[in-house]
Amino acid sequence: MNVLLTGASGFIGTRLARRLVSSGVQTFNAGRRRCDVPGVENIFVSDLGDLREAVGTMRFDGLVHLAAAGVHPGDRDRETIYRVNAAAAPAVVSLGASVGAKAVVIAGSSAEYRASSDRTPISEDAPLETQKVYGASKAAGGILALAEGAALSVPVAVVRLFNVFGPGEAPHRLLPSLFRALAEQRPVKLSPGTQVRDFVYVDDACAGLWTALEALAQGRLTSGAYNLATGRGTTVKDFANSVARAMNADPEMLEFGAIPLRPDDLPYVVGDASKLRDASGWLPDTSPESGIAKALAELHAQSKDCR
């Protein structure tokens, strides 16, 4: 089996590529940046719109579209976000039809859902975001991908990822920020930490993406949107305290309330993943505490290698 990934140089993409290669899947990465996982063949394109020409006559059994723009809070160029998140998604589905793919998975985001005061897990039929550029662009890309799949008779699953964490995250994110500061015995300025999030360990997320692709190709999963979540809510404060305990750090170094909550920081984002579970059998194996322990072990090992 051979699979084409976009965005395999990123956090989740690198981890997914490693999983596929270790499982004997012939894995290709398409994008501007190289995926350094041994065994991955890189196809360099400056723009995802050039993918069709870049792959030429190659054939693929499945495609997973992970490339995204606007993930970092400072990346807010709307033209780029619309092009990568909205326009590229149906183009990847169209490419899938031309290369003979049996299934296409589009990696979506919990940011696609509109803010709600309801503190119950979010299902796939919840209202979608229309006000925030990143979430709206991801939602639009998913809708267009599903429409393109229906037009071309290509099975498509939009898999909306909730708060994926683990080794390899961008430095500005919660886990690596905590690790760096606590390892250096520096105080960490944090918000009050009351936000409730659905933390999904990266290896569970990769297993879910791969399971969705296989189930879609086999006809066990029908085209549509699916949440990839644990269904379990954890406050940011509890997550940070778990990191401090695992590192044997002084909990007083966690300065909760030192910075305000962002105006757009939602109080509750937890997903209902029963639709994906019932169709594919995927279940997360890793609790936040276990995921934190695994991630810290890798981060410690990496920090030693860099010395």
Note the pTM of the prediction, 2 decimals: 0.95
Spatial separation of the C-alpha atoms in residues 150 and 153, rounded to whole Å: 5
Q: What is the pLDDT of residues 88-108, one digit of tens each?
A: 999 999 999 999 999 999 999
Mean pLDDT (whole number) for 216-226: 97
pLDDT tops 90 at residue 295: yes
pLDDT value for 46 = 85
pLDDT tops 60 at residue 50: yes
- Give domain status of residue 255, yes or no: no
- Give domain status of residue 240, yes or no: no
Mean pLDDT (whole number) for 139-150: 98
Spatial separation of the C-alpha atoms in residues 84 and 138, rounded to whole Å: 9
Q: Is the dihedral of CA 48, 50, 51, 52 positive or negative?
A: positive
Beta strands in 17-141 (DSSP E): 26-31, 41-44, 62-65, 103-109
Element of type H or E holding 166 = none
The CATH number covering residue 99 comes to 3.40.50.720
Structure tokens at 205: 């997320």
Q: How many domains does the chain have?
A: 1
- Give domain status of residue 260, yes or no: no
Mean pLDDT (whole number) for 11-35: 96
* Domain extent at residue 51: 2-166+199-231+270-286
Mean pLDDT (whole number) for 264-290: 96
pLDDT band per the 50, 70, 90 thresholds, residue 307: low
pLDDT band per the 50, 70, 90 thresholds, residue 34: very high
pLDDT band per the 50, 70, 90 thresholds, residue 268: very high
Instruction: Tell me the β-bridge partners of 28.
Output: 4, 41
pLDDT value for 179 = 98
34 CB neighbour count, 10 Å cutoff:
12
- Give domain status of residue 225, yes or no: yes
Residues in the chain: 307
- Give domain status of residue 187, yes or no: no
3-class DSSP state of 174: helix
3-class DSSP state of 273: coil
pLDDT tops 70 at residue 306: no
- Give domain status of residue 304, yes or no: no
Residues 6+ apart with CB under 8 A from 14: 8, 35, 36, 37, 168
- Give domain status of residue 184, yes or no: no
pLDDT tops 70 at residue 305: no
pLDDT tops 90 at residue 264: no
- Give domain status of residue 179, yes or no: no
Helix pair 174-183, 236-246: axis angle to 10 deg: 40
